[in-house]
Amino acid sequence: MLLGGLEAGGTKMVCAIGKEDGTLIDRVSVPTGTPKETIPELIKYFKEKKVQALGIGCFGPLDLNRSSKSYGSITNTPKEGWAGINITEQMKEALDIPVGIDTDVNAAVLGEVVYGAAKGCSSALYMTVGTGVGVGVYINGGLVHGLVHPEAGHMMICRDQADTFQGCCPFHADCVEGLASGKALEKRYGRKAQELSDRADVWELESSYLAQAVANYILVYSPEKVILWGGVMHQKALLPMVREKVKKLLNGYVSHPLLTERIDEYIVYPLLGENPGILGAIYLGMEEMKRGTC
């Protein structure tokens, strides 16, 4: 069976074809223009490949309430032209196949749960620290939705007393994205994060902010695996520092050997390299097919 996956991002759209077992057959990327320019290109690609179902991991926020009229649409994004666009419906109408959708980060956690580092887990969390910060949450065998969907990249954290940077989130003074995203690093230090490798103070502060968020996620969701990725995590020193600080913050209270003795197996990089989102999207399409909604 040929399945389509679409990773819809603000700068690029990654389209891929894969199989149930997670094998990828084809993968292309097109720049994100206006919906009028871009959606026909996506339709053309998936039509030509004759996929039987499509899954979309999409930038948000999204309407994921199945009983809502605008289910499957992008809601109030600042990305020009995309607010209110029902990408799910448009793809479904044009391709006449089941189309599943979830947030990009929920697709990524799903990919890792089905095929990657969290295989076999019934609860897992995926945090990407890139230009922004996003968090996908999978709990008790399902992706988490609620009033809308979790926005844990904006979790409020305690600012370091010596940190005078005002933050870069337009909504919150002291959230993870505002204080610890790649954008925040660039604004605080006046240089791109990848050019700050030799600044020990930068990674000390950065790891303390990320660790606060991760410790809070552990306290709230109790995931069986925490996966950290995104451009900023390419900074090799960061992951071990986050692990140590999470351990310190939790201070033995959450009593499990994975936290107290084997944290290296607990807070990890993804296993699927650059593909967790696209493989998760493919799986979303497969799940939608099983629901029999088309």
- C-alpha span between 97 and 152 (Å, rounded): 32
Which residue, 117 or 176, is less far from Zn ion as judged by CB?
Answer: 176
Backbone angles phi, psi at 5, to 5 degrees: -130, 140
Among 172, 234, 256, 269, binds ligand ADP (CB under 6 A): 234
Looking only at the bridges linking them, the beta strands covering 3-8 and 12-18 are antiparallel
Stretch that binds ligand ADP, among 55-63, 217-225, 231-239, 264-272 (CB under 6 A): 231-239
Contacts of ligand ADP in 189-218 (CB under 6 A)? 192-194
Among 41, 231, 256, 271, binds ligand ADP (CB under 6 A): 231
How many other C-beta atoms lie within 10 A of the C-beta of residue 227?
27
Among 32, 73, 90, 131, binds ligand ADP (CB under 6 A): 131
The residues that touch Zn ion, with contacts defined as CB under 5 A, are 154, 169, 171-172, 175, 177-178
Contacted entry of Zn ion, ligand ADP, none for residue 234, CB cut-off 5 to 8 Å set by kind: ligand ADP
Is residue 235 a contact residue for ligand ADP (CB under 6 A)? Answer: yes
With a CB cutoff of 8 Å and minimum separation 6, the contacts of 163 are: 179, 205
**Total residues interacting with ligand ADP, rule: CB under 6 A:** 12
Which residue, 265 or 274, is less far from ligand ADP as judged by CB?
Answer: 274
Structure tokens at 64: 């994921």
Nearest to 288, CA basis, from 92, 17, 98, 5: 98
- Angle in degrees, CA 22, 222, 109, rounded to 5: 20
Least separation in angstroms between residue 136's CB and Zn ion is 17
Which residue, 169 or 213, is less far from Zn ion as judged by CB?
Answer: 169
* Interaxial angle between packed helices 87-95 and 35-49, expressed in degrees from 0 to 180 and rounded to the nearest 10: 40
Binding positions for ligand ADP, rule: CB under 6 A:
130-131, 182-183, 192-194, 230-232, 234-235
